Amino acid sequence: MEYFIQQLLNGLTLGSIYGLVAIGYTMVYGIIGMINFAHGDIFMLGGFAALIVFLVLTSFIAGVPVALALLIMMVVAMLVTSLWNWTIERVAYRPLRGSFRLAPLITAIGMSIVLSNFIQVTQGPRNKPIPPLVNDVFHFGEVTVSLKQLVIVLVTAVLLTIFWYIVNKTPLGRAQRATEQDRKMAALLGVDVDRTISITFIMGASLAAVAGTMYLMYYGVASFADGFIPGVKAFTAAVLGGIGSLPGAVLGGLLIGLIESLWSAYFSIAYKDVATFAILAFVLIFKPTGILGRPEVEKV
Amino acid sequence: MPNTNSTAKETAPGVMAQAVKEGLLAGVLAFGMFLLYVGVETYQNIDNALVWRMRWGLLAIFVAIAAIGRFLVVGFVKPHIDRRKLAKAKAGIPEVSDEKGFFHRHFLKIALIFLVLYPPIIVSLNGVQGSLKYVDNFGIQILIYVMLAWGLNVVVGLAGLLDLGYVAFYAVGAYSYALLSDTFGLSFWLLLPLAGILAAFWGIILGFPVLRLRGDYLAIVTLAFGEIIRLVLMNWTEVTGGTAGISGVAKASIFGIWSFDVGADNNFAKVFGLPMSSAYYKIFLFYVILALCLITAYVTIKLRSMPIGRAWEALREDEIACRSLGIDTVKTKLTAFAIGAMFGGFAGSFFAARQGFVSPESFVFLESAVILAIVVLGGMGSLTGIAIAAVVMIGGTELLREMEFLKHVFGEDFTPELYRMLLFGLAMVAVMLFKPRGFVGSREPTAFLKERKAVSGSFTKEGHG
């Protein structure tokens, strides 16, 4: 039982990270109907920004408190990735809005290749390890909870609350929901659609940057190739939860995290990704629009 | 941008002011974007600890390129393009001209003749040994991608089903050949069709569960299937050799008459009294893949004019209308998957025979993305366009390996290969931005009334899955 709870906790931690990235996928998909393949690499850029900020920070100020360091890493990573995602949207996606559906998908895949290779070229192909930031662990009987797990779950919960508030209670969120439902109508009623879409990309990038910082803190290593697999899993989470649905993205993220950790614990680590993808396929076969997705109404 | 249809003279100062403003803005943006990633270099010191140092010079170059580039685009390129568009609109010249030159009309014949003569030309220019690089890296490599893209074109371009895991069938073909020839010692010519059939079989197996899925859900499930197959190949060590893969895969022979194994009595070079060289094998393979490509093209063209091909294209345009007209969408989708997968399987077994080595490394998602990119960049559904896209994208990146002279420009440490995929990605984005409909944006309709008119690509849908 203790073992099971332990794995549940690990899964929850991992799932929080996936959930944060998945929101970026699902929001962009909801608002412009495009799979933003480069989002996983935005997550990776966030991790690298945090890593570089950490290095610079610790070399200037020796005894900087960990909480402060983490906060600075997170904020800088959010700013930098937001800048990147905003620019990418302006340069690579906006000119193709209204073009046929595969065109933005191809530029997104192209951007993903560009971003990961850009980091490989500028920062080198090797894994970048950093010393562990947070070491404390708490014991509850047999179950061990590390402080970093708590931090991850807590930060995710706080961010999701803020995020939920923005989307549901502010004029900006209303504009986003309006744009999602009917872009043309929203534009006619005075919603600045371009601005709304830009902000959506910025919000997605910020959440991905936080996830990237958490990922770096959790695993203590960053690599240029870290964008793809977590990115695909986060996208899988978004689809599993029902793409376009925000609670669905979080739910999907948690589910993927749990499946992954439980499968590694009870079956085999080697096939954990196979299990994730197989369950995705299985769920979609029986519920083709995901768990919380709205059924697609097709008009003739 | 506000000043799109005013004349150049009136707005020239305004344009310049705006160009300066936007150039500066781009510089600031680039500074923010590149400060951490370009400006800071992280590396491990002797103690294996991660340390950093600044690269101000490189950062300055990046920022300057962004600022000056944006300045030039806003100040000079855009007004120029606008002026030309305006002049064209005034003169009333249609954007597409109907007149085609000799080269244009006979493009296919010229291309085919060139391809058949390509190895002899290269051999006569560079000698037998010197031809190896050109026949293998350029000829065979490009043709493999042409074939894969034509195969995927059946699924994406004709039937409109977005498949992000096409590389799985390529892998099935390659491993079928490697395993069956290793275990049973069967020959290439027997296993080539068998690998195709096996891949088609897998296409149907994977196609069945996804029949109900549409659009992007289909895309993600096919991506998942592609990854599952790769992960199984990677982890099922007893059979597939795991990450190490299978090496020493048997070479193909000329229909069993002459072989290319060095020790064999009927070795091609020995029989004809030629000096030993692996170039003969590559030249032979070049013709094999050329033939396979031509078969793929022939089958695709024939299928398009058959009921099943018409059903695919109808499915791409409108699935509901299809069903209302009594087209069996299940059968239509499955045949598209199966036939696309079959071509992937052929290409896979050819790949295994050419490399002599298969490993999961060759079948990552990036390959699927590259193949899909070629199909879309080529203009979805146009065989010529796809072939051109493959030549440009694959040939271009291969060419980068050859650019030794760049070392003299950027110093000895410069390795152009490092920038191969970076440039590939940038090219993907750039081509899509400037030609969203791909290189060949028009299509020849298969069914027509009285006369055949080319249809602009913007009238054809890409399907909803």
B404: distance to nearest CA of chain A, Å?
Answer: 18
Chain A, window 209-248: residues with a beta carbon less than 8 angstroms from a chain B beta carbon: 228, 232, 235-236, 239, 243
Q: Is the CB of residue B40 less than 8 Å away from at least one CB of chain A?
A: yes
> Rounded to 5 degrees, what angle do the CA atoms A285, A286, A288 make?
65
- Give B295-335 pLDDT, tens digit per residue: 998 999 888 888 888 888 888 888 888 888 888 888 888 99
Beta strand pairing call for A128-129 and A221-222: antiparallel
| Among A residues 45-84, those touching chain B with beta carbons less than 8 Å apart | 45, 48-49, 51-53, 55-56, 59, 76, 79-80, 83-84
pLDDT at B217: 77
Are residues A9 and A193 in contact, defined by beta-carbon separation less than 8 angstroms? Answer: no
Give the model's confidence band at B401: pLDDT under 50 very low, under 70 low, under 90 confident, else very high: confident
* B32-43 pLDDT, tens digit each: 889 888 888 888
A222-226, A258-262, B246-250, B297-301: segment of lowest average pLDDT: B246-250
Give residue A136's identity as a one-letter amino acid code.
D
What would the two tokens of residue A161 be? 């609350």
ipTM surpassing 0.90, yes or no?
A: no
Residue A300 distance to chain B (closest CA, Å): 7
Q: Indicate the average pLDDT of chain A.
A: 87
CB proximity B166 to A under 8 Å: no
Q: Give the B window 373-392 contacts with A, CB below 8 Å.
A: 373, 376-377, 380
Q: Which residue of B has its CA nearest to A300?
A: B320
Report the pLDDT averaged over residues A52-75: 86
pLDDT bracket for residue A114 (50, 70, 90): very high
The top-scoring range by mean pLDDT among A60-64, B177-181, B209-213 is: B177-181
The pLDDT value recorded for residue B2 is 47
Give chain B positions within 8 Å (CB) of A26: none
Most confident of the ranges B2-6, B149-153, B394-398 = B149-153
Under 8 Å between Cβ of B140 and B252: no
Residue B410 — pLDDT band, cuts 50, 70, 90?
low
Question: Angle at the Cα of A54 (from A50 to A59), degrees rounded to 5?
Answer: 155
Confidence band, pLDDT 50/70/90 cuts, at residue B263: low
Whether A288 and B436 lie within 8 Å, measured CB to CB: no
Cβ pairs bridging A and B (under 8 Å): 177
Interchain pair B373, A55: CB under 8 A: no
Considering only residues 396 to 455 of chain B, which have any Cβ-Cβ distance to chain A shorter than 8 Å? Answer: 418-419, 421-422, 424-429, 432-433, 436-437
Q: Which residue has the tokens 């599993």?
A: A240
Is it the case that residue A78 has pLDDT exceeding 90?
A: yes
pTM for the whole structure? 0.86
pLDDT at residue B93 greater than cutoff 70: no
The predicted structure's pLDDT at residue B445: 60
Q: What percent of chain A has pLDDT over 70?
A: 98
CA distance B385 to chain A (A): 16
Examine the pLDDT at B272 and tell me if it is beyond 80: no
Considering only residues A137 and A201, tell me which one the structure prediction assigns the higher pLDDT. A201
User: Is B6 a residue whose pLDDT tops 70?
Assistant: no
Tell me the pLDDT band of A272, cut-offs 50, 70 and 90. confident
**Interfacial B residues in 138-157 facing A (CB < 8 Å):** 156
- The amino acid at residue A214 is M
E strands along B72-161, which residues? none
Does position B3 have pLDDT exceeding 60, yes or no? Answer: no
Mean pLDDT of A93-101: 83
Question: CB distance A35–B216 less than 8 Å?
Answer: yes
Which pLDDT belongs to residue A76?
Answer: 94
- Name the pLDDT band for A131 (thresholds 50, 70, 90): confident
Which band of pLDDT confidence, cut at 50, 70 and 90, is reported for residue B45?
confident
Mean pLDDT, residues B184-193 taken together = 82
Sign of CA dihedral B197, B199, B202, B207: negative
Mark yes or no for CB contact B436/A271 under 8 Å.
Answer: no
CA separation for the pair A186, A172 (Å, rounded): 12
How near does any CA of chain B get to the CA of A139, in Å?
31
What six digits make up the tokens of A174?
């209303």
Q: Mind giving me the DSSP string for A129-197? A: E---S---EEEETTEEEEHHHHHHHHHHHHHHHHHHHHHHHSHHHHHHHHHHH-HHHHHHTT--HHHHH
At residue A202, the pLDDT reads 94
User: Count of H helices and E strands in chain B?
Assistant: 20, 6
**B369 at interface of A, judged by CB pairs closer than 8 A:** yes
What average pLDDT score do residues A240-263 get?
A: 89
Contact between B52 and A126 using a beta-carbon 8 Å cutoff = no
CB–CB of A281 and B419 under 8 A?
A: no
- Quote the minimal CA–CA distance from A118 to chain B in Å: 6
Q: Does the pLDDT of residue A196 top 70, yes or no?
A: yes
Using an 8 Å CB-CB cutoff, list chain A residues near B28: none
The reply to whether A190 touches chain B by the CB within 8 Å rule is no
Task: Give yes or no for B84 touching A (CB within 8 A).
Answer: no
pLDDT at B48: 75
pLDDT, tens digit, for every residue of B346-365?
999 999 888 888 888 888 88
Question: How many whole angstroms separate alpha carbon B78 and alpha carbon B47?
Answer: 53
Angstrom distance (rounded) from CA A252 to CA A292:
9
Task: Collect all residues of chain A within an 8 Å Cβ-Cβ radius of residue B32.
Answer: 79-80, 83
In whole angstroms, give the CA distance from residue B242 to residue B235.
Answer: 5
B233 to chain A, any CB pair closer than 8 A? The answer is no
pLDDT at position B102 is 65
Of A50, A39, A48, A45, whose CA–CA distance to A92 is shortest? A39
Residues B313 and B463 sit within 8 Å (Cβ to Cβ): no
Lowest model confidence (mean pLDDT) among B205-209, B223-227, B450-454? B450-454
The answer on pLDDT for B386 being more than 90 is: no
CA B386 to chain CA centroid, nearest Å: 8
Please judge whether A99 and B44 are an interchain contact, meaning their C-beta atoms are less than 8 angstroms apart. Answer: no
Contact assessment for residue B354 and residue B140, using Cβ atoms and an 8 Å cutoff = yes
Identify the bridge partners of residue B44 per DSSP, sorted by sequence position.
B50
Backbone angles phi, psi at A251, to 5 degrees: -60, -45
- Residue B327 has a CB neighbour count (10 Å cut-off) of 19
Query: Is residue A226 scored above 70 in pLDDT?
Result: yes
- Closest C-alpha among A53, A63, A126, A56 to residue B44: A126
Do A39 and A28 contact (CB within 8 A), yes or no?
yes
pLDDT of residue A45: 93
Residue-averaged pLDDT of chain B: 80
Question: Would you say residue A95 has pLDDT above 50?
Answer: yes
- Comparing A213-222, A251-260, B73-82, B411-420, the range with the smallest average pLDDT is B411-420
Does A179 lie at the interface with B, CB-CB under 8 angstroms?
A: no
How near does any CA of chain A get to the CA of B432, in Å? 6
Q: Is the pLDDT of residue B338 over 70?
A: yes
Q: Can you give the pLDDT at residue B21?
A: 87
Is B32 an interface residue toward A (CB < 8 Å)?
Answer: yes
Residue A117 contacts B where some CB pair is shorter than 8 Å: yes
Contact A280 B224 (CB under 8 A): yes
